[in-house]
Structure 1
Amino acid sequence: MSLAPARPISTDKPLLNVLRGHVADRPPVWLMRQAGRYLPEYRALRAEKGGFLELVHDSEAAADVTLQPIRRFGFDGAILFSDILVIPHALGQDLWFEAGEGPRLAPRLVDFALDGLIPARERLDDVYQTVRLVAAALPPETTFLGFAGSPWTVATYMIAGQGSREQAEARRYAYRDPIAFQAIIDAISDLTLEYLCRQIEAGVEAVQLFDSWSGSLSPEQFESWVIAPNAKLVARLRAAHPQVPVIGFPKGAGGKLPAYAREVRPDAIGLDETVDPAWAHASIPENLPVQGNLDPLALITGGEALERAVARVLSSFPGRPHVFNLGHGILPDTPIAHVEQLLELVRR
């Protein structure tokens, strides 16, 4: 039996229907990071605006970036163009991007107290304006997806000041001072709830919680810092907006996926490319919608390799609501012709 509550079916939005538990004749499709560097129109706009953060905070430009893949490919979903690190920025950390190295946050919470930050919630206002602009421009059949980072993943950046392969500083911090770490998780969760609610009020129709670094945790820490805060966040969001589906995406969770599905109770669950889709189909609650999980490298390869990979994903979820997607974000060197091949394979 599905953990997702029964929701009405709206026949004019295929993606939204599947997220609400409807089994479609063909799965709707969107791709994580579908608005981004593989598109020449994105690269041109980013060069004009001067950088990634400049794009995020220029609402008209961010709306255009969100719409670019819809105009080109007609995906069933449009994903808001923004970044998970707008939350620590609004909590008072400085945020910038180092060329070729990625995001940086300061001061690092590994050596600075959370209560020393001065919140600046107005830094999120540009995102809400982007949502309003996109909602007014989307085709009526296209579902508008908002998103945020899950508390654990956002906390890893806030503590270390940047991304890291094993999130060792955040994991040490959580072991060393779980009370202080819980305070960071709670602060992120509270602002994330407000942030997602305001996205919904501005026009998004479903939201995704990205837990990009959930795979680095021990089972005990996974329960404490992934399952518990996400379960609370999903419950609070559902109480505020019961008709808005929530997709949980705990990348790297592997064998902990069934527990995540049962305890977090998302309306749909995203599978990364390392998950055997047949195992997932057999292991997670019956009828719970799934999203995924084509390997982004199969998309880059194209040709027969892509055909085989797409066929395997499409055959793995008989009778289950399924959103076709990648197992993670589309990579910058992905040929546009391969995206067109993917859509032809899924839609035929």
Structure 2
Amino acid sequence: MVQPNPVDSVVDRPLLAVLRGERRDPPPVWLMRQAGRYLPEYRALRAEKGGFLELVHDSPAAADVTLQPIRRFGFDGAILFSDILVIPHAMGQDLRFEAGEGPRLSPTLVDHALSSLVAVPERLLPVYETIRLVRDQLPARTTFLGFAGSPWTVATYMVAGQGSKEQAETRRMAYRDPEGFGAIINALVDATVDYLSKQIEAGVDAVQLFDSWAGSLAPREFERWVIAPTAAIVDRLRSRHPETAIIGFPKGAGGKLPAYARETGVDAIGLDETVDPIWANAVLPEALPVQGNLDPLALIAGGPALDDAVNAIRRAFPTRPHVFNLGHGILLDTPIAHVEQLLARVRGPL
């Protein structure tokens, strides 16, 4: 269990309290990708600043994006506006975002050696400056969340150069050359520990590890490429920052969630929308905080369907520490009014 920082006792931060194992009713709430394209103020700033990466590297603008949903909705948590691929960018790969097609990394590690990359760590400096700017402006009760991609998910982009549904190219490489692929994973563990440590030093209160493609792996591979690297990050980060809570989010892990929770040592675990919250409450370690897990499409639907879905999730965790969130990121066509409805239902009586 993460021990409270004496500084935090001055101000009540509901989200931070739950991540440290305290039950709160109603639960604190934030939404993955809450700073983004569904907000008109974000779209206006993005149009002014140009491309996505340019916005990430413009610290004052990135700080403004981080704060936009806090100003509008008063979420209990602010999530740093950045991207999981800033790590391979700092490790020496070129990163660009193609309109309508997503991120592209080069050279791809399926046909280039990791040793051929020349690290450019200064590419991460704008992220730390964004954190400092947000910290100065964030309401005292709002928990500030940093994040990084987990090694497996980031490696899939580094190997293939882009995202894919089945991550087949990376999975083939991991089977064919486990030693070479392991070197990529180990390098990512080192880079991620340093990156998150510097985020904490710059001012975030807690961090989340996003493993968006964890669900594509067979059980033994999941143990090797998801659980073991995550456990290494948690162990090393905790030795540097024992007071900082770490959320693990292995999307698609399903029946492997209990092993992930037990073996990684994370302080809280995020549940995607495919997980039955009643099952999760029954099988996860007692008193482990959980986060989630509303279907983003239920948020788009709104109305009684949204209220019913919110109520069902809240009832699934009658005593466990719970952070209300989506099961994945908020979608572009989400109506603002539905986010307001969600907050009213989460913060209201059951």
Moved more, 258-267 or 5-14: 5-14
CA distance in 2, matches of 1:305, 1:319: 24
Q: Aligned partner of 1:104: which letter?
A: R
Per-residue CA shift, 1:147-177, capped at 9, x if unaligned? 0000000000000000000000110000000
| Aligned positions, number | 345
CA distance in 2, matches of 1:210, 1:268: 13
Q: Displacement, 1:196?
A: 0.3
Q: Displacement, 1:7?
A: 4.1
1:218 corresponds in structure 2 to 218
1:266 corresponds in structure 2 to 266
Q: For the Cα contact (< 8 Å) 1:6–1:21, is it kept in 2?
A: no
CA distance in 2, matches of 1:5, 1:147: 18
Q: For the Cα contact (< 8 Å) 2:2–2:245, is it kept in 1?
A: no
Q: Aligned partner of 2:130: which letter?
A: T
Q: For the Cα contact (< 8 Å) 1:57–1:126, is it kept in 2?
A: yes
1:138 corresponds in structure 2 to 138
Q: Aligned to 2:330, what secondary structure does the other structure show?
A: coil
Q: For the Cα contact (< 8 Å) 1:7–1:21, is it kept in 2?
A: no
Q: Aligned partner of 1:177: which letter?
A: D
Where does 1:229-240 land on structure 2 (aligned, <5 Å)? 229-240=229-240
Q: For the Cα contact (< 8 Å) 1:63–1:134, is it kept in 2?
A: yes
Q: Displacement, 1:298?
A: 0.1
Where does 1:82-121 land on structure 2 (aligned, <5 Å)? 82-121=82-121
- Is 2:123 the counterpart of 1:152? no
1:25 corresponds in structure 2 to 25
2:318 corresponds in structure 1 to 318
Q: Aligned partner of 1:313: which letter?
A: I
Q: Displacement, 1:51?
A: 1.2
Q: Aligned partner of 1:42: which letter?
A: Y
Q: Aligned partner of 2:247: which letter?
A: I
Per-residue CA shift, 1:23-53, capped at 9, x if unaligned? 0121000000000000000000000001110
1:187 corresponds in structure 2 to 187
CA distance in 2, matches of 1:136, 1:236: 28
Where does 1:289-308 land on structure 2 (aligned, <5 Å)? 289-308=289-308
CA distance in 2, matches of 1:135, 1:5: 21
Q: Aligned partner of 1:86: which letter?
A: V
1:331 corresponds in structure 2 to 331
Q: Displacement, 1:204?
A: 0.1
Alignment CA distance shift 1:5-1:205 (3 Å): closer
Q: For the Cα contact (< 8 Å) 1:227–1:263, is it kept in 2?
A: yes
Q: Aligned partner of 2:171: which letter?
A: R
Provide structure 2 residue ranges, at least 5 long, that are not aligned to the other structure: none
CA distance in 1, matches of 2:336, 2:272: 22
Q: For the Cα contact (< 8 Å) 1:79–1:144, is it kept in 2?
A: yes
Q: TM-score, normalised by structure 2?
A: 0.98
Q: TM-score, normalised by structure 1?
A: 0.98
Identical columns (%) = 74
Where does 1:27-42 land on structure 2 (aligned, <5 Å)? 27-42=27-42
2:76 corresponds in structure 1 to 76
1:256 corresponds in structure 2 to 256
Q: Aligned partner of 1:264: which letter?
A: T
Where does 1:45-56 land on structure 2 (aligned, <5 Å)? 45-56=45-56
Q: For the Cα contact (< 8 Å) 2:23–2:321, is it kept in 1?
A: yes
